Amino acid sequence: RPNITLTAGRFFDGTRFGLSTDYNWAVGPHLELRGGWEWNRIRFGARAQEFDSHLARVQAQTAIDSRFSINTFVQYNSLTDAVTTNARFRYNFSEGQDLWLVWNEGLNVDREAVLGVPRRPFESARTLTMKYTHTLIF
């Protein structure tokens, strides 16, 4: 299912014009893929400032069975020249009992040093989080 959205209006003390596209594809009963691109043109006339931003993203959702699912999300941001990844692994023991493993990672695409500024590391952040939820019924 493709989707195209145009936006225009005020953005703080400036203006914003945007265009975004998204596509959802149900590959099968256990896999859904999504992709999208977003462009925003921001202008601040009184401050003589402006910028354009591009976001590209890909997402995959899969359910191996009724207990185990994986969701992954990858996004590129042109303003920070960075790639962000999020992967969530969920195991459902029973209704109200879930175990989550969440992996987040940020990568710097443009690492070249600028005069007076040290070279950025390849990895900007990495976390692995485990979460267990148990719903209590009173």
Q: In whole angstroms, how far apart are CA 17 and each of 4, 21, 37, 99? A: 14, 14, 14, 41
In sign, the C-alpha dihedral spanning 112, 106, 11, 41 is: positive
Q: Is the pLDDT of residue 10 over 80?
A: yes
User: What value does the mean pLDDT take over residues 113-119?
Assistant: 70
Q: Is the pLDDT of residue 113 over 70?
A: no
| % of the chain with per-residue pLDDT over 70 | 96
For 15-50, the pLDDT digits (tens) are: 999 999 999 999 999 999 999 999 999 999 888 898
User: What value does the mean pLDDT take over residues 64-70?
Assistant: 93
Edge-to-edge strand ranges of the sheet holding 97-108 = 2-11, 14-28, 31-44, 49-63, 68-77, 82-94, 97-108, 123-134
- Every domain of the chain and the residues it spans: 2-134
Q: Tell the CATH superfamily of the 2-134 domain.
A: Porin (2.40.160.10)
Q: Check residue 110 and give its pLDDT.
A: 79
